[in-house]
Structure 1
Amino acid sequence: MTDTLQLAAEGVSEHRPLIISLFGTFVLVTLGVTVWAGKQTKDANDFYAGGRQFSGFQNGLAISGDYMSAASFLGIAGAIALFGYDGFLYSIGFLVAWLVALLLVAEPLRNSGRFTMGDVLAYRMRQRPVRTAAGVSTIVVSIFYLLAQMAGAGVLVSLLLGITSEVGKILIVVLVGVVMILYVSIGGMKGTTWVQMIKAVLLIAGTLLITFLVLLKYDFNISALLGEAAENSGAGGAFLEPGLKYGIDATTKLDFISLGIALVLGTAGLPHILIRFYTVPTSQAARRSVNWAIGIIGGFYLMTIALGFGAAALLERTDIIKSNKAGNTAAPLLAQNIGGGPDSTGGAILLAVISAVAFATILAVVAGLTLASSSSFAHDLYANVIRKGQATQKEELSAARWATVGIGIVAVALGVFARDLNVAGLVALAFAVAASANLPTILYSLFWKRFTTQGALWSIYGGLVSSVFLVLFSPVVSGKESSMFPDVDFQWFPLENPGLVSIPLGFLLGWIGSLVSKEPVNKEKYAELEVRSLTGYGAH
């Protein structure tokens, strides 16, 4: 460990009671909010959609809290600090993706569904096979996204509490899993939404504070900040130009295209984002919530310039990598540095505050993801497939809570292996899976009359299987020092993100499956869905 990191560890140690107090305060306050919301959760409409009582602004704030995850705060800052311009591409991709969600998905989905993505897909098709496929896809995408949050939690809390043992890091991931299970099972959508709103305010305030302090250090001269970042990075001018990570050879250039496609198209297929459109009373409120989300999220991603390039300018690259080889601790270490250094009270306080904000980010996002997957299991798989629509609301809610426990256990188990991977890269994989399996089926269902049940199944399962299969045999899992399993090598797919192959394949399979299907097209149902999705007539 270098001198800087040694001082950081000592500075944290001296102020550990403050750090633990901040963490504990946030957890206790949000659990209190969750218990309060849980007392108001009376039926399925409350548990799944928060009673559809949230305004456009409230939902926009909650969407922002759900979307600005550990990938945004920790992963992107680390990617920029290590790779400069190429790392900032994550910010651009995550933001641009909202235009797809706003223009194509938000309002039609709100008008057409009730609680889950499966409601929309099964509207004019055979219920059981389509709901099964939608439920499986929702759970898989959510678990991929949960991996990133678990990885971020393990890294962050380990840094703050000085935990270096592998057992200790595993226990941290388990703790996060337990808290997220409590959030969802007790509070449902109401509790989760309020936690996400609180977290969004904290994250914006914390990021704004760090951005102000970094720019103040450079007299608000962004050019000077970027110049010192380039000089300190060891890469010189190349740090501020495309190609440091994705322009090395033909493979990395293709990887960049694949990443860009996944980021831009993935948001409109993310289950935990899609279900947020059901929490508002009208389609106009759904549009307003996305507009608010774009503004809040856009401001945040602009501030990641200060987070990432500030870390590159003020911290040594070797210190960032030694703290976490994927760069996930760059933002907390920057907070400590800008507050006065690792041996100062100001540095320790700022590190504690920013880390508590990051921890709040993780807990809020994992709650949203767990709610999306448990809702899909209970509403799509249990109530409509297993019980064939005969389940009572009480039975359905009980199934949702048990599903929360099961999904939490799976996420914890997989998160243990993912804690050394860059969280922004992990989220990009979830985007690729969502864009491959969910987005083609949603768009075809809403806008293509000829789409059939067979096309939906081919699209969902084809996109899901191909994207997950390619990830398993990619450098993300094996074959590189930065892989999930660095000591083995069974990778043969050269790209780290499968979107370039799996997303077009998902659209193609949906089209072919519909064309070769012998199922008659229900024109009346399509006309009814079209009117409902575009006008809101008959919407819940």
Structure 2
Amino acid sequence: MSLTHSLASSPGQLQLAAEGASQHRTLIVTLFTVFVLLTLGITVWAGRRTKDATDFYAGGREFSGFQNGLAISGDYMSAASFLGIAGAIALSGYDGFLYSIGFLVAWLVALVLVAEPLRNSGRYTMGDVLAFRMRQRPVRTAAGISTIIVSIFYLLAQMVGAGALVALLLGISGETGKNLIVVLVGVVMILYVTIGGMKGTTWVQMIKAVLLIGGTLVVTVLVFHKFNYNLSSLLGAAAENSGKGAAFLEPGLKYGVSTTSKIDFISLGLALVLGTAGLPHILIRFYTVPTANAARKSVNWAIGIIGGFYLMTIALGFGAAALLSQKTITESDPAGNTAAPLLAQEIGGGADSTGGAILLAMISAVAFATILAVVAGLTLASSSSFAHDLYANVIRKGKATDKEEVSAARISSVIIGGVAIGLGIFAGGLNVAGLVALAFAVAASANLPTILYSLFWKRFTTQGALWSIYGGLTSSVVLVLFSPVVSGAPTAMFPEADIAFFPLANPGLISIPFGFLMGWIGSILGKEDEAVKKHAELEVRSLTGHGAL
């Protein structure tokens, strides 16, 4: 799933592809430059329209359901899913496609349980929902810490992926070149947030979504044209060329190897399905629309757009399996994360052709745009939580003005961006395969139980909220530290060490129920407080919108 882990360690065929298209490298640089300049121009325009905290945090609540749905799609479809799912399908066939099912089904949870009540109950952040019933300072502190940790995990994977991918495509060798790319991405994302706030970030995400869908559609049409628009022919050729025969199109090739792998897939699927509804950069998007009805419509649009994209990954993944050898894909990247760029180059005419270079440049530019849009959304979510939850309501005890809040958000975005740059440089040579999945697991373990309990359980208390957030957060992080993601495996972050007593790569199967359990125990054991008395008021507000901003 991770874009970054093999990109950073095994250039292989993608390096050869980049060298083969070296005479067209000007085209790649031009596409990158045009996108960055265009989006920076939009960010400056949006920044001039940002007047107060509502504009900075929620884009003035002026985006329509369609616009927000498009922006949610741009925020959600990260490079890890764009490149990772195509690679997983190319190498594992049916089992690889199961990734996209998990990502898509997750939106049904967000639609049914979270979108509308959250829009009605909060103002800018997840902490607003909890603070409506609970004691302000402790729950906002917990919510802020959880938001920042989830965002940092997600940011790290995107930053390292940007450095590795762009350095290879531009022919930049050595760690210094990759580090410079990481710095460039970090600086651009800081500019997006500090100058444009939510308005600028939203427009960047909408543009990125259009580019991603457009680029994927072009490659999809070309792949189907190659096989006379016959899906059966495409799948048959993929199965035959994979060397695995009919097993390539059947369940069990990757996740049916052992009992542990089957359980690990269940754990991963649980994290993906439940984690989306707890991701901070997704949750804050529900505040950018004027009504709860628009929030629901935005999720409906997002489901349609994201669903269409993940259907096209069938063409990307199986097309790569049919037109590229497994050796070509794995030499470029053992996890298959460069399958989509390699397919684009092949379908365009090969490494030495102008068409191949154009499609390679296009898909690579789309991947870069994807990274920039996602990191901007993550930075905005974490800086908003710091400024609104921690600074304004914990440190200043609600006495900060809108101007002071926005200034704190801009300063914190610079700090968080600097941390992401530093960690991205430090982790440049590490396997960060579990970071994106870990972000989903932490969100599902710490954020989602607390949100659902707060919205729907009368007896939920402040102590229950704290136990749920910190319990889910701690259990998910600790289990990953002692899992094959960190040590005890050739693909681990530290392959020479072996402290992996937890056999699963994703902790969701344990940490998610633990988060719910801790929230229940904390509430049962704790004294009844104001949270119980205010449940009825929150219920009316969340379901009807009465009193919503």
Say whether 1:170 aligns with 2:179. Answer: yes
TM-score where L is the length of structure 2? 0.95
Structure 1 partner of 2:326 = 317
Structure 2 partner of 1:240 = 249
Structure 2 partner of 1:300 = 309
Give the counterpart of 2:42 among 33, 52, 64.
Answer: 33
Structure 2 partner of 1:463 = 472
Structure 2 partner of 1:202 = 211
Q: Deviation of residue 2 (structure 1)?
A: 11
Structure 1 partner of 2:167 = 158
Q: Deviation of residue 417 (structure 1)?
A: 5.3
Instruction: Read off the aligned partner of 1:33 and give its amino acid letter.
Output: I
Partner Cα separation in structure 2 for residue 171 and residue 519 of structure 1: 54
Structure 2 partner of 1:352 = 361
**For residues 321 and 388 of structure 1, do their structure 2 counterparts lie closer, same or farther at Cα, with a shift above 3 Å needed?**
same
Matches within 5 A, 1:63-462: 63-416=72-425, 418=427, 426-462=435-471
User: Do 1:142 and 1:271's aligned partners in 2 also have CA atoms closer than 8 Å?
Assistant: yes
User: Do 1:71 and 1:424's aligned partners in 2 also have CA atoms closer than 8 Å?
Assistant: no
Q: Deviation of residue 351 (structure 1)?
A: 0.5
Matches within 5 A, 1:484-499: 484-499=493-508
Matched residue count: 540
Comparing 128-137 with 302-311, greater Cα deviation is found at: 302-311
Residues 193-224 of structure 1 show CA distances to partners (whole Å, capped at 9, x for unaligned) of 00000111111000000100011111111122
Q: Deviation of residue 5 (structure 1)?
A: 5.6
Q: Secondary structure at the match of 1:493?
A: coil
Q: Secondary structure at the match of 2:133?
A: coil
**For residues 292 and 419 of structure 1, do their structure 2 counterparts lie closer, same or farther at Cα, with a shift above 3 Å needed?**
farther
Q: Which runs of 5+ in 1 are unaligned?
A: none
Instruction: Read off the aligned partner of 1:49 and give its amino acid letter.
Output: A
Partner Cα separation in structure 1 for residue 56 and residue 15 of structure 2: 47
**For residues 349 and 522 of structure 1, do their structure 2 counterparts lie closer, same or farther at Cα, with a shift above 3 Å needed?**
closer
Note the aligned Cα RMSD (angstroms): 1.7
Comparing 416-425 with 178-187, greater Cα deviation is found at: 416-425
User: Do 2:134 and 2:530's aligned partners in 1 also have CA atoms closer than 8 Å?
Assistant: no
Instruction: Read off the aligned partner of 1:374 and give its amino acid letter.
Output: S
User: Do 1:50 and 1:190's aligned partners in 2 also have CA atoms closer than 8 Å?
Assistant: yes
User: Do 1:151 and 1:421's aligned partners in 2 also have CA atoms closer than 8 Å?
Assistant: no
Q: Deviation of residue 17 (structure 1)?
A: 0.6
Partner Cα separation in structure 2 for residue 33 and residue 39 of structure 1: 10
Q: Secondary structure at the match of 2:497?
A: coil
Instruction: Read off the aligned partner of 2:201 and give its amino acid letter.
Output: T
Q: Deviation of residue 403 (structure 1)?
A: 1.1
User: Do 2:14 and 2:342's aligned partners in 1 also have CA atoms closer than 8 Å?
Assistant: no
Partner Cα separation in structure 2 for residue 324 and residue 394 of structure 1: 47
User: Do 1:142 and 1:373's aligned partners in 2 also have CA atoms closer than 8 Å?
Assistant: yes
Comparing 224-233 with 262-271, greater Cα deviation is found at: 224-233
Partner Cα separation in structure 1 for residue 93 and residue 429 of structure 2: 20
Comparing 10-19 with 481-490, greater Cα deviation is found at: 481-490
TM-score where L is the length of structure 1? 0.97
Residues 380-439 of structure 1 show CA distances to partners (whole Å, capped at 9, x for unaligned) of 001100111111222211111111112112222333455577888532221111000000
User: Do 1:269 and 1:439's aligned partners in 2 also have CA atoms closer than 8 Å?
Assistant: yes
Instruction: Read off the aligned partner of 2:519 and give its amino acid letter.
Output: G
Q: Secondary structure at the match of 1:485?
A: coil
Instruction: Read off the aligned partner of 1:391 and give its amino acid letter.
Output: A
User: Do 1:417 and 1:484's aligned partners in 2 also have CA atoms closer than 8 Å?
Assistant: no
**For residues 486 and 250 of structure 1, do their structure 2 counterparts lie closer, same or farther at Cα, with a shift above 3 Å needed?**
same
Residues 231-271 of structure 1 show CA distances to partners (whole Å, capped at 9, x for unaligned) of 22232222222222211111111101101111110110000
Partner Cα separation in structure 2 for residue 216 and residue 500 of structure 1: 42
Partner Cα separation in structure 2 for residue 38 and residue 417 of structure 1: 32
Partner Cα separation in structure 2 for residue 247 and residue 323 of structure 1: 25
**For residues 171 and 468 of structure 1, do their structure 2 counterparts lie closer, same or farther at Cα, with a shift above 3 Å needed?**
same
User: Do 2:464 and 2:518's aligned partners in 1 also have CA atoms closer than 8 Å?
Assistant: yes
Say whether 1:477 aligns with 2:486. Answer: yes
Give the counterpart of 1:24 among 33, 38, 43.
Answer: 33
**For residues 129 and 320 of structure 1, do their structure 2 counterparts lie closer, same or farther at Cα, with a shift above 3 Å needed?**
same
Q: Deviation of residue 313 (structure 1)?
A: 1.5
**For residues 424 and 111 of structure 1, do their structure 2 counterparts lie closer, same or farther at Cα, with a shift above 3 Å needed?**
farther
